[in-house]
Every structure is written in structure tokens, then in C-alpha cells.
Chain A
Amino acid sequence: MKFNSLRYILRETFHSIRRNPWLSVASVLTIMVSLVILGFSIFFMVNADNMATTFESELEIAVFTDKSVTPQQLGTLKLDIERMPQVSSVTIVSKEQALVEFGKTMKSSGNNLLDDLGGINPFPDRLTVKAADPQVVKDIAMRIQGFSGVENVVYGKDFIDKLLPFTRWLRWVGIGVIVAFAIASIVLISINIKMNIFSRRREIQIMKLVGATNGFIRWPFFIEGMFLGLVGGLLASATVGVTYDWLSGYVQNTLAFLPVVQNPMLFWQVLSGLLVSGMAIGAIGTAISLRQFLKI
């Protein structure tokens, strides 16, 4: 492209913004609001997923052994379980540890049951097994039940049966929310761009009639769309960033049991993603909307 044309295009872009300031403000606000909603829904989704993962990772299987099992046999049992696929970790909780833990719990509730036992340890050795995937907990528990030296296997059967559908639901809702808002923001932004271009269709028609090529007509609109998208994206990521930062701090301080994602890397990725999508939506939306007006 000739240098003169480039200069013309840049000048034309900013002339147009200056002469239609309200249209430009409306475009920026539309892009901003859409992206803010999108940004929040992404963080909602991330947190929903994180919450589901946290709940799931707390699932464990308690394997109680026979009283007759020697420490050596216990070690072998541990290795056998570890060798099973889908098992992520196995820890031994010896009867002594179990007793100490039990004592702690009792003391904190002011109970002297431990002293009443008078030195007898009623606990068996125990293994705590964690599965790599919550879906297979049931399966693993059943298979461990068949191992020799195992007296009883306990896992939160009812809890798993309720939790898994719930976390699945939570993830789908999160994805649904993102998809819905992404579509809504693209529609909103393209309607706005179309209005912007429609208000200048005469200008485009005249440009065509004096012999401007489509590329020449497209560029100023394109750069304008990109610029307004960038400004909208910038405002959106600032809004989302500041609000999320504040909100996540607040939730963590007041509702500590709710796991809130505070991952700086992810945080900046989402914010720069909003920025880039603002710019991309502005540019692509303009290019698509322009097509029908260029057919003269």
C-alpha cells in the first residue's frame, strides 16, 4: 500500500472517531459490558471447576486391616495397592497414630475416654488411599476388599453418589454460562458495529462511486473497530481485574471454606484474553458487517 494511502487511512480513522464521539462511546461501552460479563463468567467457571476438584480430591478410601496383620504384611499390602492403576497415593496410619489422633479429637471436646481405655489400643492399622479420578473410587474400594488381611473398606459411598452428579452439573453450568455470554457479546457487538457502519453507508457508497477499492474503504473502518475494541477490552479487563481481586479477597476472608482461585498467571491470562478478544471482535465484526455494504 502506498504511504499516502496509509496516512489517509490513519487520519480518516481518527477523524471518524472525533466526529462521531457518541457512536464511538456506545461501541466502546457495548464491547466493555459484553466482555465484563464474559470475563466474570470465565472466572465463575474457573471457580466452579476448582470447587468441584477440591471436593473430589477430598475423597479417600479408608482400608482397615485385620488385627493379625504384621507391620511387614502391612507394607506389602501398601505396595500392592499402590501398584493398582488409578491409585494416586497410599499412606499408612498405624494403630499408634490412630490412637493419638483419636486422643486429640476427644480432648478438644473435653472427653476423657482415652484415659478410660487404660492403655489398651482398640484401633487397627489403617491405610488411606486416594484415587486419581473420583469416578473410580467405588471400583478401587471393591477390589481392595478382596485383598488378604483387609477387614473392612470404608468410603463415602452416599457422598460420592451425590457429589459426582453435582460436580458434573457444576462444570456444565460453568461452560454453558461462558458459551451463552460469548455468543451474546458477539451478537451485541456486531449489532453495534453494523449500526455504526449503517450510519455511514452513504459515505461507503460515495467512496465506491468515486473509484475506491474495497480494501481502501475497509481499512479505516477496520482500524477503528480494532481501536474501539481495544479500548473496550482494556476497560473490561480493568473492571474485571479490580473487581475479582477485591471479591476473591473478601470471600477468602469471610467464607474461608469456599476455595477461591487466586492464580496470578491465570488472572493475567484471562485479562489479556479479554483485551485481545475485544480487539479481535472489533476488527472481525467490522470486516463481516462491511461486506454487505461494499456490494455496490
Chain B
Amino acid sequence: MIQLSNVSKIYPNGARALSDINLKIGKGEFVFLVGPSGAGKSTLIRLLYREEKPTRGQVLVNNRNLVRMREHEVPYLRRGIGVIFQDFKLLPNKTVEENTAFALEVLGMSTREVQTRSRAALELVGLGGKGKSFPHQLSGGEQQRACVARAIINSPGLLVADEPTGNLDPENAWGIMDLLYNINKRGTTVIMATHAKDIVDQMQKRVVAIEGGRLVRDEEKGAYGYEV
């Protein structure tokens, strides 16, 4: 499903974010990406939906080469990938339902279908009654769930999350993990960058650790491995 070969990323300002990363992730896997702040986790995540391009090496997602991909093909790649952001990235001037519907309207779906599907997605993340609220009227946990709803509404094959629980209290964090766990069980590949030791330790999933831009550990049913 995902394959990174000899990937290095150096930002235009000279900062070296990733060095020679080789990583293979199969369909339906659940992978935690751990490591100290600034290790390169976010950069790696951003490579997957081509917000960034690697300086060297190849990135394959769904057998498509993202390095050689043309600009006009990028939107179609992204439609198959759900992205959950630490800062939610909800549009402040759209209601929760409009925010989730957004990902479908982009595809030119009929209003009726957009409505049915976005209501179903909100129901799934437990925001059934909040569709008409604006993001600022919701708690942090609810906003993050709205973000999840938007990411999964399109039934993507791949879900990437950059510290989705970073801004949440433990209870809300576990709510989000429940959602991701269930989505993964239905066949979606999930890749999640995180600092949440207790979550990683308890979930018993594959753990990939990055330090200073290098891949230093990759174990099945791993643990967080850093002191908090």
C-alpha cells in the first residue's frame, strides 16, 4: 500500500527533516509513528498525501509514484486519503455538517447524497445532533471528531493522522482512538504520528520510531519506548 525507498527530505532553508528512510506499510495495517518533537514525523506524514515532495528517493501510495505524479493528478490521490490534523483545520465560517460535506462536494456529488453521507459520518463520530453548530461552538474533542468525520466520509483506503489527540484530554483522546480503531477494523490503513505514550502502549500496534530524521526502530505490537 505504502512504500518509501531511500527517502530524504531537505527543506529549502537547509533543514534536514528525513534521511534515507525505507518503510513499507501493508493494506489494513495500524501504524504508530513515534519520536521526539522535530524528529521528522510530520514531514513523513505530509509526504504521503503529497503536501511535500521528497528531495531524494521514491514514495509509492496505492502503487502510484508521488514523486513523478503530475500536479493535476494530486487532487485524485488526496480523495483516497483521509487526513486528520492536530489543529483540526475546520473552516470557522461553515457549520460542522458543511465542513464534513465539503469533502464530498468537491467530488460533485448530489446534495441529497452529500447530506445523507455527512449525517451518517457525524452520527458515527457521535456528533449526530451537532451538525448545525459552528466549530467555535464545540469543545476541542468535538471539533477533533468533526475532523475525523470529514476524513472518513469518503471511505478512504488510507487514513493519516498527525497527533490527533495532541490537543485533547485523556477521555476525548480515547474517544478518538476508539474511532480510529473501528475504522481500521473495517479495512482502512491508519498511520498516526503521536506523543501519547499510554495510547501507544495500550493499543499494541506496529510502532515505527524516528529520531533525527532516521528510522531507528520498527516493531510489531510495539511500545512507545520513550520516557515521558
Contacts and interface: CB of A to CB of B under 8 A. Distances in A.
Interface of A: 1-2, 4-5, 7-8, 19-20, 202-203, 205-214, 216, 296
B109 A210 contact: no
B105 A8 contact: yes
A158 B66 CA distance: 78
Interface string B71-103: 010011111000100000101010000000011
Contacts of A207: 102, 106
6 contacts: A19-B93, A202-B91, A206-B102, A208-B75, A209-B51, A210-B150
Contact of B106 (A7, A205, A212): A212
A211 B51 contact: no
B111 A296 contact: no
B78 A210 contact: yes
B78 A4 contact: no
Given A202-B91, A206-B89, A209-B49, A216 B106 contact: yes
A211 B78 contact: yes
A42 B103 CA distance: 48
B111 A7 contact: yes
Nearest to A294: B71
B96 to A, nearest CB: 14
B110 A4 contact: yes
B177 to A, nearest CB: 22
A4 B91 contact: no
Interface of B: 49, 51, 72, 75-79, 83, 89, 91, 93, 102-103, 105-111, 150, 154
B108 A2 contact: yes
Contacts of A296: 51
A203 B111 contact: no
Q: Chain A CB within 10 Å — which of B72, B75, B79, B154 has the most?
A: B75
A8 B106 CA distance: 9
A4 to B, nearest CB: 5
A155 B91 CA distance: 76
Contacts of A211: 75-79, 103, 106-107, 154
A210 B51 contact: no
Nearest to B153: A210
Contacts of A202: 89, 91
B150 to A, nearest CB: 7
A236 to B, nearest CB: 29
Contacts of B102: 206-207, 210
A206 B91 contact: yes
A209 B89 contact: yes
B104 to A, nearest CB: 9
Contacts of A210: 78-79, 83, 102-103, 106, 150, 154
B78 A209 contact: yes
A15 B79 CA distance: 24
A206 B99 CA distance: 10
B83 A209 contact: yes
A201 to B, nearest CB: 12
A113 to B, nearest CB: 87
A124 to B, nearest CB: 84
A214 B76 CA distance: 12
A213 B108 CA distance: 11
Given A206-B91, A207-B102, A213 B109 contact: no
A213 B72 contact: yes
Contacts of A213: 72, 75, 106
Contact of A5 (B51, B72, B108, B154): B108
Contacts of B108: 1-2, 4-5, 8
Contact of A4 (B49, B111, B150): B111
Shortest Cβ-Cβ A-B pairs, 6 listed:
A211-B79, A211-B78, A2-B108, A212-B106, A210-B103, A5-B108
A24 to B, nearest CB: 13
